[in-house]
Chain A
Amino acid sequence: MIDKTVPSLAAAVEGLEDGMVVMVGGFGDSGTPHELLNAVLERGCRDLTIISNNAGDGDRGIAALILHHRVRKVICSFPTTARNYAVRDAVERGEVELELRPQGTLAECIRAGGAGLGGVLTPTGLGTELAEGKPIYELDGRQYVVERPLRADFALVRGWRADRWGNVVYRYAQQNFNPLMAMAARCTVAQVDHIHEVGELDPMLVHTPGIFVDRVVRVEREAQR
């Protein structure tokens, strides 16, 4: 019987080692797998490269990893949330390298990574410092910024419901980067509120097909911060 569920958060991040590239889903708190991030912190991994839209907030999530000196590089679109002192200070100190990609470019580069494409041609950032150092490609008389695809060792995603085959359904705007990141990692771990028997999820409503998901771990919603 195929069963991708794992019994604990620690088991969910087994194999996540120093120096790995980790995608983290979520937009602010929506769709952010905070409990999986706590498990990465407890595991003690260092020198991580984090790919995420934001870079944590206050002392939670990615910010907690940064405050504990576990992060070497952050690739994101918006590190400057109101209480972002963790990433700001770490970048100022030169401890963390920050690579900024526009939000839509970040999304499409992750999708390209998951879809086996060699890059993205986008008009976004043309003629601005956002395109500095990136190749410009002209096609049919129009110019585009060439952006490299993004892939990861692990993707930590947060969903609402999943079954034992790893099919995932997201709740409202929880989707954001999660379905894209699920496609783009060697090992994708989904943190969900509910686990279902195979056949219980309506195939027409599945957002992330199980082929993209390696492990599923349940965290009761009440237990989540």
Chain B
Amino acid sequence: MSAERGWTEPEIARRVLADLWEGAYVNLGIGMPLLLNELLTPEMGVILHSENGILGMGPAPPPDRRDDDIVDAGKAHVTLVPGASVFHSADSFAMLRGGHLDVAVLGAYQVSMHGDLANWKRPGQRIAGVGGAADISVGAKQVWVMMRHLTKDGAPRIVRECTFPLTARGVVKRIYTDMAVIDVTAEGLQLKELAPGYTAAEVVAATDAPLAVLEGVRD
């Protein structure tokens, strides 16, 4: 994918960032969503949760300031922002499962038109780790997915029914890809916004489920 057509991964991250708000409590999944941690500034007032037990997570420290007891969910070194707190795993997952977290931004293999999320295991994979993904996606007030629109082989990742093992059913509210922003609603999938260089027809063709094009989406 060239930069002239569609969004790069940092551009998708910036697009997600534009929808967050001051005071939002947000959890970032491992992989592409962690790009947001490097783009957030203190002025934005977004408070990051890391499920190993941090509220108020900041970006990676310089190598000489690394602390092995301050890591993110991917076990990478991070920092604590002023106002941060630390806690044990039961409290951490109470924040998630208990509906206290505003937004979870997660990666995915597939998302269905019903908002089913598949992001922890490939079909036929015998040993996989689920980590916190299932609790986070069940508990967050909103689950947003950040992913490439197509697989490396060109297959749509947005589908009628997931063929990958599910993480949770009916939880995804919004999907950000290199091609578009799509909402998952009770009425079905809605194309909300196009990435530069793509037409609505192209995004509809790259999506393996009915996709309504909202009025006002340029074509």
Verify A29–B135 contact, CB threshold 8 A: no
Contact A176:B75 (CB < 8 A) given known A80-B128, A100-B130? no
The verdict on B21 contacting chain A, using a C-beta distance below 8 Å, is no
Q: How far is the CB of B78 from chain A (nearest CB, A)?
A: 9
Size of interface on A: residues with Cβ below 8 Å to B: 48
Q: Which residue of chain B has its CB nearest to the CB of A91?
A: B127
Q: How far is the CA of A30 from the CA of B54 in the complex (A)?
A: 12
Extra contacts, 13 of them, besides A78-B131, A100-B128, A172-B86 (Cβ < 8 A), are A29-B68, A78-B130, A80-B129, A98-B127, A102-B134, A108-B90, A123-B138, A126-B168, A128-B167, A175-B53, A175-B88, A176-B88, A179-B88
Instruction: For the complex of A and B, list the 4 residue pairs with the smallest distance between their C-beta atoms, beginning with the closest.
Output: A104-B93, A104-B135, A78-B129, A28-B75
Q: How far is the CB of A179 from chain B (nearest CB, A)?
A: 5
Q: How far is the CB of A127 from chain B (nearest CB, A)?
A: 4
Question: Which residues of B line the A interface, CB within 8 A?
Answer: 50-54, 67-71, 75, 80, 86-90, 92-93, 96-97, 126-136, 138-139, 165-169
9 A-B interface contacts by CB (under 8 A): A30-B70, A77-B131, A77-B132, A88-B127, A91-B126, A104-B93, A124-B168, A129-B165, A173-B71
Q: How far is the CA of A127 from the CA of B80 in the complex (A)?
A: 36
The verdict on A198 contacting chain B, using a C-beta distance below 8 Å, is no
**Contacting residue for B93 out of A88, A103, A178, CB 8 A:** A103
Q: Which residue of chain A has its CB nearest to the CB of B116?
A: A127
**Contacting residue for A129 out of B54, B69, B166, CB 8 A:** B166
Verify B69–A173 contact, CB threshold 8 A: yes
Verify B129–A128 contact, CB threshold 8 A: no
The number of A-B residue pairs with CB atoms under 8 Å apart is: 144
Q: Which residues of A contact B89 (CB under 8 A)?
A: 27, 53, 103-104, 106-107, 175-177, 180
Q: Which residue of chain B has its CB nearest to the CB of A177?
A: B89
The verdict on A8 contacting chain B, using a C-beta distance below 8 Å, is no
Verify B166–A124 contact, CB threshold 8 A: no
Verify A29–B129 contact, CB threshold 8 A: no
**Contacting residue for A108 out of B69, B75, B93, B133, CB 8 A:** B93
Verify A177–B134 contact, CB threshold 8 A: no
**Contact bitstring A80-106, B, C-beta under 8 A = 1, else 0:** 110000011001100000101011111
Q: Which residues of B contact A79 (CB under 8 A)?
A: 127, 129
Q: Which residues of A contact B138 (CB under 8 A)?
A: 123-126
Q: How far is the CA of A5 from the CA of B169 in the complex (A)?
A: 49
The verdict on A122 contacting chain B, using a C-beta distance below 8 Å, is yes
The verdict on A70 contacting chain B, using a C-beta distance below 8 Å, is no
Q: How far is the CB of B157 from chain A (nearest CB, A)?
A: 18
**Most A C-beta atoms less than 10 A away, residue of B51, B67, B86, B167:** B86
